[in-house]
Amino acid sequence: MFIADLLREKPVTVSCELFPPKCGTAFDNAPEVVERTVALQPDFISVTCSAKAAGNNVEMASHVRACGATPLAHLTCVGASKAGIDEMLDTLTLRRIHNLLALRGDIPADGPAERGYTYASELVSHIKARGDFSVGAACYPEGHVESAGLEQDLVHLRAKVDAGADFLITQMFFDNNILYRFLYKALAHGVNVPVLAGVMPVTNRSQIERILKLSGTTLPPRFLNILDRFGDSPIAMRQAGVAYATEQIIDLIANGVRGVHIYTMNHPEIAGEIMHNIRYIVEAGCEAQHVQRNVG
Ligand code: FAD
């Protein structure tokens, strides 16, 4: 199913993200991670891509599909030639993977080897012109790390939507008010496609330190207190991380957010706990959206 259609039809969606194993490392537990994530019945499962895991994301996304779930394959263009991207699109078409998250990717310190496409908006436009793909793109509630500010980033985000992006997935955030402000501003910039809120359950201190360095995401005092207090106790941090993500999602759905994307970090058991915690919330959210649509 095209994710664009799913988002039109379903009042509230919950999706999960997985990452493929690096090339040269064992693929052994990747099928099991996929199968256990599919068993949670998310609306779709996205699979990240990186040069280090080249090819494995197509394998993993294909396994998602073989298990009966809808895959969303991430595709980055940094360092790729136009011919290389076309080759990848042909492969994805052959594997009947019709949902893509079109990204630029992070620029390597020594610069990209190839410059087929400079920005994600160009990639979105190219994929849409080929047809037969539902295309999503990334967005950043606090602004992208390279941009001069949120306003400038929103202008570029609008270009991705104008190029044909059907939906957006946010970078993680830990203060829902940051997302709500972003959604208002995005709408004011003409960004009128569904925005799925990316939620990351933080279950260990080193994981978040690494991610913060790359993304520039800020941590609210409430979260910092949790990290300070429980960061050295893996079992307590895990419980607190699941509880924090659960609360974030409840608040998001209560405030009308229609899509939640869980950064599972390949831990289906953690995603499972969160999905169990929110099962009635999602049901009630769907009913509330139905009523709102029928009245409106
Ligand atoms: P772009 O939209 O091209 O934006 C990059 C920067 O360029 C921004 O600062 C933007 O404001 C600016 N810009 C855009 N257009 C213009 C223009 N015309 N003129 C001047 N400036 C411009 N990375 C991976 O390697 N693999 C993944 O699987 C992956 N998945 C991700 C999933 C999500 C949901 C998110 C939020 C990020 C993901 N990333 C992934 C990270 C992403 O690749 C990086 O954040 C990257 O630095 C930017 O990618 P982008 O697609 O947002 O780029």
Q: For residue range 175-201, list pLDDT tens digits in order.
A: 999 999 999 999 999 999 999 999 999
Q: What is the pLDDT of residue 128?
A: 97
CA dihedral 120, 64, 66, 51 (to 10 degrees): 50
Nearest residue by C-alpha to atom 15 in ligand 1: 156
Q: Is 215 in the pocket of ligand 1 (CB under 6 A)?
A: no
Rounded to two decimals, the pTM is 0.97
Percent of the chain with pLDDT over 90: 84
- Mean pLDDT per block of 10 residues along the chain (296 residues) reads 97 97 84 97 97 90 98 96 96 97 92 89 97 96 96 98 98 97 98 98 88 86 95 96 98 97 96 98 90 76
Q: What is the pLDDT of residue 296?
A: 63
Determine the residue of 104, 261, 264, 266 to mutate for testing ligand 1's pocket, defined as the one with the most ligand atoms within 8 A of the Cβ atom. 104
Distances (CA, A) of 278 to 27, 140, 179, 252: 31, 25, 19, 11
Q: What is the distance between the alpha carbons of residues 74 and 57, in angstroms, rounded to a whole number?
A: 8
How many Å lie between the centroid of ligand 1 and the Cα of residue 145? Answer: 9
Residue listed under structure tokens 């409840």: 250
Q: Is 268 in the pocket of ligand 1 (CB under 6 A)?
A: no
Q: What is the pLDDT of residue 35?
A: 98
Nearest residue by C-alpha to atom 26 in ligand 1: 49
Quick check: 46 and 18 in contact, CB under 8 A? yes
Q: What is the pLDDT of residue 210?
A: 80
Q: What is the pLDDT of residue 199?
A: 98
Q: What is the pLDDT of residue 216?
A: 84
Taking the CA of residue 215 as reference, the ligand 1 atom at the shortest distance is 45
Q: What is the pLDDT of residue 95?
A: 97
Q: What is the distance between the alpha carbons of residues 75 and 138, in angstroms, rounded to a whole number?
A: 11
